[in-house]
Amino acid sequence: MSEYTLYHNPRCSKSRQAKALLDEQGVAYETRLYLQDPLNTSELKALVTKLGIEATELLRTKEAEYKEAGLSKNSTAEEAIEAMANFPKLMERPVLTGPKGARIGRPPEAILDIL
């Protein structure tokens, strides 16, 4: 089992760039295709804690599912977690976790901070 996990969407250019950066650096990592293997609420809470952000900051607010889930700028952390568990597309990507913490790869180079 690798120390690093990349939460990845292969259809996302930023996610592909982050994956390429890890490969260029020779980093061993696991890839979790979170759209096919969604995070449950416990995993999402742990990820938000490791990122050191509010759950609402992990939301992709421009996705159609954001409104479908009944979310707004006033949504609570619990509502955000539930929505991402039910609609994994709402989770910002890519995200890398490792021994030194976690980073959202926006820009993709941000993940290098935790290597």
- Residue-range domain boundaries for the chain: 4-114
What 8-state DSSP symbol labels residue 10?
A: T
Is-contact 105 94, C-beta < 8 A?
yes
H helix or E strand, kind and range, residue 7 = strand 4-8
H helix or E strand, kind and range, residue 60 = none
- The reported pLDDT for the residue numbered 33 is 99
**Residue 41's closest CA among 51, 55, 29?**
55
- The mean pLDDT value for 29-38 works out to 98
- Residue from 4, 5, 8, 12 carrying the catalytic annotation: 12
Tell whether omega for the bond before 88 is within 30 degrees of 0, i.e. cis. no
Whether the per-residue pLDDT at 2 is higher than 90: the answer is no
Is-contact 61 106, C-beta < 8 A?
no
**12 is annotated as an active-site residue:** yes
This prediction's pTM: 0.95
Whether the per-residue pLDDT at 57 is higher than 80: the answer is yes
- The reported pLDDT for the residue numbered 1 is 74
The band of 12, judged by pLDDT with boundaries at 50, 70 and 90, is: very high
Mean pLDDT of the chain: 98
User: CA geometry: angle at 82 spanning 67 and 72, to 5°?
Assistant: 30
- The reported pLDDT for the residue numbered 37 is 98
The β-bridge relationship of strands 29-33 and 4-8 is: parallel
Fold of 4-114: Glutaredoxin (3.40.30)
